[in-house]
């Protein structure tokens, strides 16, 4: 059996990685989409390459987060309520990702550049950015509480 500390640390690393990615996307990546030529195939390549990095991290974060809500797996220093709130925040991030972000990326793949769609990506991504920032803060707080 994998030690609960290792599951929690892996979870926090995945959360921190996603937080860093979502901030990069928000501040650098999405705003640069306004400079893509209408005929460019950028959106097709962007979607494929981003998925290769983000999906494994999201699945790792979800899997370890789910394990952490199980009593036998959760470390003593991680209260069930905190683990539960973390999973609710993650569910919110996933909801925004699959119901708002991915469909808009599909529109961009099909139609190429569309300023309104890019602005919507930025707007909805602020919610994900906030959720992953809160999750990262929770991980940091729990880790600090766990220190001797």
Q: What pLDDT digit, counting tens, does each position of 60-113 carry?
A: 999 999 999 987 889 999 999 999 999 999 999 999 999 999 999 999 999 889
In the predicted structure, residue 40 carries a pLDDT above the cut 60: yes
* Selection from 5, 22, 3 nearest residue 135 by Cα: 22
Structure tokens that stand for 20 in this block: 């860093």
Residues 6+ apart with CB under 8 A from 131: 89, 90, 92, 93, 96
> Mind listing the pLDDT tens digit for each residue in 10-27?
999 999 999 999 999 999
Number of structural domains in the chain: 1
DSSP 41: -
Query: Which residue range forms the structural domain that includes residue 22?
Result: 4-146
């Amino acid at each position: 059996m994998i030690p609960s500390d290792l599951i929690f640390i892996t979870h926090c690393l995945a959360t921190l990685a996603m937080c860093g990615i979502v901030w990069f996307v928000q501040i650098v990546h999405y705003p640069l989409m306004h400079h893509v030529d209408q005929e460019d195939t950028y959106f097709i390549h962007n979607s494929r390459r981003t998925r290769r990095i983000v999906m494994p991290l999201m699945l790792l974060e979800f899997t370890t987060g789910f394990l952490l809500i199980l009593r036998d797996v959760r470390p003593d220093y991680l209260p069930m309520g905190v683990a539960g709130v973390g999973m609710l925040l993650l569910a919110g991030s996933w909801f925004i990702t699959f119901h708002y972000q991915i469909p808009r990326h599909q529109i961009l793949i099909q139609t190429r550049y569309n300023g309104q769609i890019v602005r919507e990506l930025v707007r909805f991504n602020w919610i994900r950015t906030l959720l992953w920032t809160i999750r990262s803060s929770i991980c940091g707080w729990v880790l600090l509480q766990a220190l001797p």
